[in-house]
Structure 1
Amino acid sequence: MDVQLRHLRALVAVVDAGTFTDAAALIGCSQAAVSRSIAALETSLGARMLERSTHHVALTSAGGRVLSHARRVLDEIAHLRRIADETHSELRLGYAYAALGKHTRRLQKAWALAHPGMPLVFVHSNSPTAGLSEGIADVAVIRRPLSDDRFEVTSVGVETRYAAMDVDHALARRRSVSLAQLARYTVAMDHRSGTTTPDLWPPGTRPATRFTDGVDEWLTLIASGQAVGVTAEATANQNPRPGVAYRAVTDAPPIDVRLAWWKDDPPPCLDALLEMTRELYASTPPIPPQRSRPHPAQKGRAGQPKGLAR
């Protein structure tokens, strides 16, 4: 039996979802179909891909090597389908967490006036390429390093880093916070598409971490008081959440905001998109660093601190 795309999709889905049941829901088939696809792949390649137990699924050494190639094959197939879609008449801008923050609506409005025949549509994808490699985006908003040589990447602006915490947290009473203050608490980090890693703190001062998958899980964990987070200014503007307060981080380096696209297939009107986006970021530079100082909690109508300091 030859290796088929459904076999590769099943392997990637199981690794990403963590279980056969969740993988079946992810790709829209039965758990039995996922199991058959994994078994067929192992038979075709002559090696076991996954170690299975009652509550755990882990890649074998061979499975780890196959996984990276499986992802690349699936990415290329998605890219071929996008190229073949001749009826495509909109420009899709992918993002993982918060699009362009406060600039998102302004860009859409300006684009609609300048390009009435080609709508600018923002699409969400919590992947390292924000939907670009999966074929659901023509251009992607990237805030973390992207070393894949299939893509062209260029900077369009910078953003201040913000901390996120429960509104009842001690740090929520401050106007701004420092990395040292945040290091006293568990920090939630998105291992797939987040902008924060332990390397943001100097060795020996790095906080305890808890990894999440996606902005909703990240915010829910923070709102419950189980962790704090560090993110881009765009997240603070585009993802207000009851129970979550955002404060600028005074001593953290800014985040470089980039746009990325396929090198061999740049989308139409790319130069216009780059120019508009850069102009928006240039019109409102990031907040300069300032000394952290205590700030009385701002009370809302129900006596709760407000979530976002503006």
Structure 2
Amino acid sequence: MDVQLRHLRAFVAVVDAGTFTDAAILLGCSQAAVSRSVAALESTLGTRLLERSNNSVKLTQSGARLVTRARRVLDEVARLERIAQEAYSELRLGYAFGALGKHTRHLMKAWAAAYPWLPLVFVHSNTATAGLAEGVADVSVLRRPLVDDRFEVALVGCEARYAAMDTDHPLARRRSVRLDQLARYTVALDPRTGTATPELWPPDARPAIRTVQGVDEWLTVIACGQAVGVTAESTANQNPRPGVAYRHVTDAPHVQVLLAWWKDDPPPYLAALLAMIRSLYGSVPPGDGLPREPVDRAVAATGRRR
């Protein structure tokens, strides 16, 4: 059996993009090359992984079992490449939607003053780990739970939720809104990296959902009046957009801001990074349910310059 990485990359790209055409754009190759790679993978494994139609693809039962494992393989390969090719010449902080919002600039300045030899760089990645698993980030800012025993996670702060709507929307005239008011409209959700889910609303009062991929598409459909959105406060600070108004959602639960890193390879000065971000957010509420032990281990592991 000769499973090649390019075959796995093509298969995962088709699943993520939804079509062979969009997968080709994502990979920067031709649609025919993507089709050949997926066909080669299916031939090698002796099973069909995707059901094809004119406008979309659907995972078969075998494909659904394989795709998670394929992601794991690609993640580990990316990590091996990063370890082999890079020393810590910079500390890359991944994020998917809002970075650290209004705290981003303050963290950058404080870090540059304290550790000028190790630049802190924010990198955008619209994946479940905000670039951590993919090897493009050393630490990631997350606002969704991460259930993966390869990573450690620590709480660094909490943020209020904000609604986003086009500036001509009736709710834009209000200073704040409630969830039941938003439920009257179609709500744009990013199921991979967004902080809002249908479970914010009661089962019998959930809004119509429009699925989007990434913050740019989310903002575009909102600015065009095709949907409203619910997000963390950081998005409102980090992503002002002409035609989009943000309003505080008074009855929505706060969003936890998390930092994640590889359990067996914490980056340098992790403890200092955690302390700086926590100081910017203020005290972390007690009883958050997240372990404190990983942070204590990080102090010992990262107390020296590499």
Same fold at TM > 0.5: yes
State how far apart, in whole Å, the 1-side matches of 2:187 and 2:143 are: 19
Over residues 122-173 of structure 1, what are the superposed CA-to-partner deviations in whole Å (9 max), with x where a residue is unaligned? 0000001000000000000000111111110000000000000111111111
Over residues 18-47 of structure 1, what are the superposed CA-to-partner deviations in whole Å (9 max), with x where a residue is unaligned? 121221121122222211111111111000
Aligned alpha-carbon RMSD (Å)? 1.4
State how far apart, in whole Å, the 2-side matches of 1:106 and 1:200 are: 31
Whether 1:241 and 2:241 are equivalent positions in the alignment is: yes
Whether 1:197 and 2:227 are equivalent positions in the alignment is: no
State how far apart, in whole Å, the 1-side matches of 2:21 and 2:264 are: 37
State how far apart, in whole Å, the 2-side matches of 1:274 and 1:283 are: 12
Whether 1:132 and 2:132 are equivalent positions in the alignment is: yes
Runs of 4+ off more than 4 Å: none
Query: How do 1:159-170 and structure 2 match up within 5 A?
Result: 159-170=159-170
Query: How do 1:66-215 and structure 2 match up within 5 A?
Result: 66-215=66-215
Report how far residue 84 of structure 1 moved: 1.8
Q: Which residue of 2 aligns with 1:290?
A: none
- Amino acid of the residue matched to residue 116 of structure 1? P
Report how far residue 283 of structure 1 moved: 7.8
Report how far residue 110 of structure 1 moved: 0.3
- Amino acid of the residue matched to residue 10 of structure 2? A
Report how far residue 87 of structure 1 moved: 3.5
Report how far residue 224 of structure 1 moved: 1.0
State how far apart, in whole Å, the 1-side matches of 2:93 and 2:247 are: 27
- Identity, % of aligned positions: 74
Aligned with 1:146: secondary structure? coil
State how far apart, in whole Å, the 1-side matches of 2:210 and 2:202 are: 18
Aligned with 1:132: secondary structure? coil
8 Å contact 2:164–2:244 — kept in the other structure? Answer: yes
Report how far residue 192 of structure 1 moved: 1.1
State how far apart, in whole Å, the 2-side matches of 1:6 and 1:218 are: 30
Greater share of residues in helix: 2
State how far apart, in whole Å, the 1-side matches of 2:168 and 2:226 are: 12
- Amino acid of the residue matched to residue 247 of structure 1? R
State how far apart, in whole Å, the 1-side matches of 2:37 and 2:283 are: 52
Report the TM-score when normalising by structure 1: 0.90
Q: Number of residues paired by the alignment?
A: 285
Whether 1:60 and 2:60 are equivalent positions in the alignment is: yes
State how far apart, in whole Å, the 2-side matches of 1:145 and 1:99 are: 16
- Amino acid of the residue matched to residue 172 of structure 1? A
Q: Which residue of 1 aligns with 2:43?
A: 43
Q: Which residue of 1 aligns with 2:263?
A: 263
Unpaired runs of 5+ residues, structure 1, are 286-310
Report how far residue 65 of structure 1 moved: 0.8
Aligned with 1:165: secondary structure? strand
- Amino acid of the residue matched to residue 46 of structure 1? G
8 Å contact 2:155–2:284 — kept in the other structure? Answer: no
- Amino acid of the residue matched to residue 229 of structure 1? G
Moved more, 276-285 or 261-270: 276-285
- Amino acid of the residue matched to residue 240 of structure 1? P
Query: How do 1:21-40 and structure 2 match up within 5 A?
Result: 21-40=21-40
State how far apart, in whole Å, the 1-side matches of 2:200 and 2:284 are: 25
Report how far residue 226 of structure 1 moved: 1.1
Report how far residue 284 of structure 1 moved: 11
Report the TM-score when normalising by structure 2: 0.91
- Amino acid of the residue matched to residue 50 of structure 2? L
Report how far residue 82 of structure 1 moved: 1.8
Whether 1:222 and 2:222 are equivalent positions in the alignment is: yes
Query: How do 1:274-293 and structure 2 match up within 5 A?
Result: 274-282=274-282
State how far apart, in whole Å, the 2-side matches of 1:235 and 1:47 are: 43
State how far apart, in whole Å, the 2-side matches of 1:86 and 1:210 are: 40
State how far apart, in whole Å, the 1-side matches of 2:221 and 2:122 are: 26
- Amino acid of the residue matched to residue 136 of structure 1? V
Aligned with 1:204: secondary structure? helix
Unpaired runs of 5+ residues, structure 2, are 286-306
- Amino acid of the residue matched to residue 109 of structure 1? K
Q: Which residue of 2 aligns with 1:308?
A: none
Q: Which residue of 2 aligns with 1:3?
A: 3
State how far apart, in whole Å, the 1-side matches of 2:284 and 2:250 are: 18
